[in-house]
Amino acid sequence: MAGILFTSASWGNFGLRIGDDESDVLARRKALEESISIGNIVFMNQTHSNEVVLTDGRSSVVDADAIVTSSKGVGLSVLVGDCVPILIRSSTSVAAIHAGRIGMTNGIIGKTVELMKSLGAQNLEAIMGPSICADCYEVSTQMYADVVRDFPHAATSVARHGLDLQSEIGHQLSHEGVEVFNLGICTLEYSEYFSHRRSQRTGSAEGRQIGVIWL
């Protein structure tokens, strides 16, 4: 079965262009590869798209917000600082998804599962890692109304106008026939994790933790 890892802030920042020296971040990424004894970890240039890429690991960085592989020894990573990191495993392929509000509403989850199934994947299991919870993800009342109109499982209440990404994403995965395990850790509430929203509140840059999965 696939190997799975979620880092916390104590592992350091794995995101580029967030204040750290690039050489330090790249060294940290290399050290992580060596620590879990796999040949290569593929990272994504994430732009909140619904782009899904099939990779064999020959490129260490791809432009996407979801990646899939059926190659053994290739790690797939997802960088997050509040969005939902989703790692999906099967006996024949694995996937990593960066699911923020935009990717979630643009169908990135269904596209990723569809690609895995086209490769013969069965009995899929998804692990949802540390991400911002509904109590902490308050948005404007207009944005709230726009999202929950089409994605009711993201709803809390009009008074709270907080989006429950974890609930909606769990629903989408279940609808695709994927068994879901949610770690239920809020990145903003727990200082052990980096949080983009916390950095907005404090004015101090925060890094990105990652989820990694491999066959």
Write out pLDDT tens, residues 109-145: 999 999 999 999 999 999 999 999 999 999 999 999 9
pLDDT exceeds 70 at position 1: no
Strand order in the sheet with 94-99: 52-54, 66-69, 94-99, 84-89, 125-128, 179-182
Q: Is the pTM of this model over 0.75?
A: yes
Q: Which distant-in-sequence residues (6+ apart) come within 8 Å of 114 by Cβ?
A: none
Residue 29 phi/psi, 5-degree rounding, is: -65, -40
Question: In CATH, what is the architecture of 3-132+165-214?
Answer: 4-Layer Sandwich (3.60)
pLDDT tens-digit readout, 53-111: 999 988 889 999 999 999 999 999 999 999 999 999 999 999 999 999 999 999 999 99
Distances (CA, A) of 114 to 6, 48, 51, 57, 169: 24, 19, 13, 20, 15
User: At 132, is the secondary structure helix, strand, or coil?
Assistant: coil
Asked if 147 and 158 touch (Cβ cutoff 8 Å), the reply is no
Return the number of other C-beta atoms located less than 10 Å from residue 79's C-beta: 23
Question: Which pLDDT does position 37 carry in this prediction?
Answer: 83
93 and 126 Cβ atoms separated by less than 8 Å: no
Alpha-carbon separation of residue 21 from 2, 17, 198, 213 (angstroms)? 32, 8, 21, 26
* Phi/psi at 18 (5° precision): -125, 25
